[in-house]
Amino acid sequence: MMTTHLPILPVLAPFLAGALLLALPDLPMPVRRRIATFAVAAQIAIAVALLVATGGGDILVYRLGDWPAPWGIVLVADRLAAWLVLTATLLALCAVIHAGDGTDRRGRHFHVLFQMQLFGIAGAFLTGDLFNLFVFFEILLIASYGLLLHGGGAERTRAGLHYVVLNLIGSTAFLFAAGLIYASLGSLNMADIAARAAQVPPENLGLARTGGLLLLAVFALKAALLPLFLWLPAAYAHTSAPVAALFAIMTKVGAYALLRADTLLFGSTSGALAGLFAPWLLPLALATLAAGMFGALAAESLRRLAAWLVVASVGTLLTGFALGPAGVAAGLYYLPHGTFAAALLFLLAEGIARRRPAGADFFAPERDMPRHALWGGLFFAAAVAAAGLPPLSGFLGKFMLLRAAQGHPAQAWIWGVVLVAALAGVIALARAGSRLFFSTRTVEPAPAAPQSAPVDMLPDELPDPPGAPRELTAILGLLGLILALTAAAGPAADFARATAAQLADPAAYRAAVLGGSR
Amino acid sequence: MELLIALAIGTLTGCGVWLALRAHTFPVVLGLTLLSYAVNLFLFATGRLVVGRPPVIAAGAAYTDPLPQALVLTAIVIGFAMTAFVIMLALRARAELGNDHVDGKNE
C-alpha cells in the first residue's frame, strides 16, 4: 500500500504541513519552527524511501483518481525524480534550520510559503503531465515571490519586481508552448506526447517544433540559461540568506525540465522531433558558464559572487546534459554538489555580513570579525567546494564531465571553457577570501569625543550575534552533505549512470505510463 | 472566424509585448494582462474552432474538444491571481522606491 501511494507523498507532505501552519496562525514561533523542521525531515524520509523504491530501475506511476493514463494526470517517479526530490529536501532542511535564527520573524507566513515552495518543487519533479508541470511551476513561483520579498526593503522590492514580471512573461510563454503542443500532437501527457511525436503528421510538424522550442525558451528562463539569466544575480543577492539557499534548487528545476523534455519529449524515439534541443543546449550552456564566471570575477560582494556562481553551475550542469548519457551522469552527480555549494556560500555570506557591521559582505576593508579562524576556515572549505577543486565532489563531477566530453566534436571548446572557467572561479573566490579575511583595518579608539561615547563601545572584537548555533548547524550540515557526496562518490556516480541509462530509454518510461500498449 | 480569432490573438499579443516593454509599472501590468488574455484565447483555439457542437461527448455526435476549456479555466484562475499579486507588488514598489519606474529610479 505504501509503495502504491509513495509517488504522491513528497507532494502531499509539504502541502499538508503548509496548510496546517496556515490554519494555526496563533502558534508561537518555536512551535512553528519545530513543525516546519519536522515536516522537512519527514519529506527527507519519504524521498529516501522513493529513492530506494526507484533505485532498482522501477518507474512508479501514480494515476490521480485512477483515470487511465493519457486522459488523467499522472505522477511518475523514476530515478531522476527521486534523486532531485532528495536533493531538494536535504537542501530545505539546512535552509529551514538557518531560517530559525530570526529570518522567519521578519514577515508573516515564512514557514507556510517555505512548505508551499517545497510542494511546488516536488510536484514539478514528479508530474508526468505538461500542463500539470505548468501548474506546479506556478505554485513554486508564487511561493517564491512571497519568499523573495520576505522581510521587505527597497532593494529587495526592486529585484523582486523584475523577477515577478519576467516569470509572468515566462508563464505566458509556457502556456503558448503547451497550447501549441496540444494543438499539434493532441496530448499533454508527456509519455503520450513522446509516443505521438514519432508519428506527427507533416502539416503539424512546424507547429510542434515551434511549441518545443518555445518550451526550450521557457525552461531556459527558469534555469537562468544565457541570455535569460540577467534576473538572477540581483534577485538572489538581495533576498534573505535561507531563501537564497533554497533558491539554489530553483534553477535546477528548470534544468530538470530541460533534461526531461530533451530525453523524453524530444528523445531518441521521437522521429522528426528527436533532438530538437540538441543544437542549442551545448553552445548556450558553455556561454552561460563563461558569462557566470565573468560575473563572478566582477562581483563586489560575496552574495553577488555566489549568485553568479549559481549561473556558472547551471552552465556546467547543462554542458553535461548536452553530452549524451555519460555527460548526463556527470551532470546528475554534479547537480547536488552545485546546489549545496551555492547554498553554502549564500549562508556564509550572511554569516560574514552579520559580523562586519560596516562592510557587510562587500569586499572592503573592515575590522577583524569575531572567530575569524572559524569563519575563514568555513569560507575556505566552501570556496574549495564552489570552485570544484579536489578533494571535494565538485572536482569529481567536473572530472566526469571532462571525461564525457572526450572524443566529442566540440571537445576543445568544452575542455577550454570548463577549465578556464574553473580557473576564473578560483581567482574570484581567492580574491573574495583575501579581501574579506586578510584586508582588515585596525580601529583607532574614538578621538576624544565631546559627547560621552565610551571607548569600550568599539571593542576590537564584536560579540557573536544571536542565532549563531543555528547558523553554524545549517552551514556545517551543508558542508557535511558535500563531504558525504564526496565519500559516497562511487555509489552516487553509479546511481547517476543508472539514471542516465534510464533516461536514454524513453520507451521504458512510455511503457510504464501508458501500460505497454505502444 | 479563424481570421478573426487569429487577428484578435495577434493584436492582443502585440499590444501586450509592446506594453510589457515600457519603463513604468502600470503599462507593464497592463501588458501582462493583455498577454494573459491572448494566451487564454489561444488555448481556447488549440482544440480547433468548431461551431454549434456540444462540449462533451454525446453518443455518436461530433463534439468540441473539452480539454482546452479546462485548460483555459485553470489559466484564467492562475492569471487572475498573478495579476492581483503583481499589482500589489507594483504599488509597494511605488511606495518604497518613490516612483513607478521598473528600475526604481527617477528620470
| A178-227 pLDDT per residue, tens | 999 998 988 899 988 888 888 888 888 888 999 999 999 999 999 888 88
- pLDDT number for residue A84: 94
| B38-74 pLDDT per residue, tens | 999 999 888 888 777 777 766 666 778 888 888 999 9
If one counts every other C-beta atom within 10 angstroms of the C-beta of residue B99, the result is: 13
Give start and end residues of each alpha helix (H) in chain B.
Answer: 2-20, 25-45, 67-97
Contacts of A158 in chain B (CB under 8 A): 93, 97, 103-104
- pLDDT number for residue A339: 93
If one counts every other C-beta atom within 10 angstroms of the C-beta of residue A254, the result is: 23
Is a pLDDT exceeding 60 seen at residue A517?
no
Contacts of A142 in chain B (CB under 8 A): 81-82, 85
User: Measured between CA atoms, how close is B91 to chain A, in angstroms?
Assistant: 10
| A266-308 pLDDT per residue, tens | 888 877 888 888 888 999 999 999 999 999 999 888 989 999 9
User: Measured between CA atoms, how close is A149 to chain B, in angstroms?
Assistant: 9
Which amino acid belongs to residue A109? H
Cα A5 from Cα A7, distance rounded (Å): 6
User: Measured between CA atoms, how close is A156 to chain B, in angstroms?
Assistant: 10
The domain limits of chain A are 2-441+467-514
If one counts every other C-beta atom within 10 angstroms of the C-beta of residue A461, the result is: 12
* Contact check, Cβ <8 Å, B89/A145: yes
User: Measured between CA atoms, how close is A155 to chain B, in angstroms?
Assistant: 9
Cα A142 from Cα A135, distance rounded (Å): 11
| A136-177 pLDDT per residue, tens | 999 999 999 988 888 778 888 888 888 999 999 999 999 999
Cα A373 from Cα A384, distance rounded (Å): 16
Long-range CB contacts for residues A408-414, cutoff 8 Å, separation at least 24: A408/A323, A410/A282, A413/A286, A414/A282, A414/A286, A414/A319, A414/A323
CB of B20 within 8 A of CB of A169? yes
Is a pLDDT exceeding 90 seen at residue A457?
no
Which residue reads 522521429 in cell numbers? A271
* Contact check, Cβ <8 Å, B32/A178: no
**At a CB cut-off of 8 Å and minimum separation 6, what does A369 contact?**
A352, A355, A356, A375, A462
Residues of A with CB under 8 A from a CB of B: 131, 135, 138, 142, 145, 149, 152-154, 157-158, 160-162, 164-165, 168-169, 171-172, 175-176, 178-180, 182-183, 188
User: Which of B2, B12, B40, B82 best probes binding to A when mutated, by most A CB atoms within 10 angstroms?
Assistant: B82
Name the band, by pLDDT with cuts 50, 70 and 90, for residue A331: very high
* Contact check, Cβ <8 Å, B82/A138: yes
Kindly report the average pLDDT of chain A as a whole number. Answer: 87
Name the band, by pLDDT with cuts 50, 70 and 90, for residue A394: confident
User: Measured between CA atoms, how close is A207 to chain B, in angstroms?
Assistant: 11
Give the residue on B whose Cα is nearest the Cα of A165: B86
Using the Cβ of B9 and the Cβ atoms of chain A, whether some distance falls under 8 Å is answered with: no
Using the Cβ of B87 and the Cβ atoms of chain A, whether some distance falls under 8 Å is answered with: no
- B43 vs A142, A152, A179: nearest CB: A179
Using the Cβ of B56 and the Cβ atoms of chain A, whether some distance falls under 8 Å is answered with: no
Name the band, by pLDDT with cuts 50, 70 and 90, for residue A480: very high
- pLDDT number for residue A202: 85
Contacts of A149 in chain B (CB under 8 A): 89
If one counts every other C-beta atom within 10 angstroms of the C-beta of residue A10, the result is: 31
Name the band, by pLDDT with cuts 50, 70 and 90, for residue A505: confident
User: Which of A172, A181, A203 best probes binding to B when mutated, by most B CB atoms within 10 angstroms?
Assistant: A172
CB of A344 within 8 A of CB of A481? no
Name the band, by pLDDT with cuts 50, 70 and 90, for residue A467: low
- pLDDT number for residue A449: 45
- pLDDT number for residue A376: 87
Cα A57 from Cα A70, distance rounded (Å): 22
Cα A242 from Cα A38, distance rounded (Å): 17
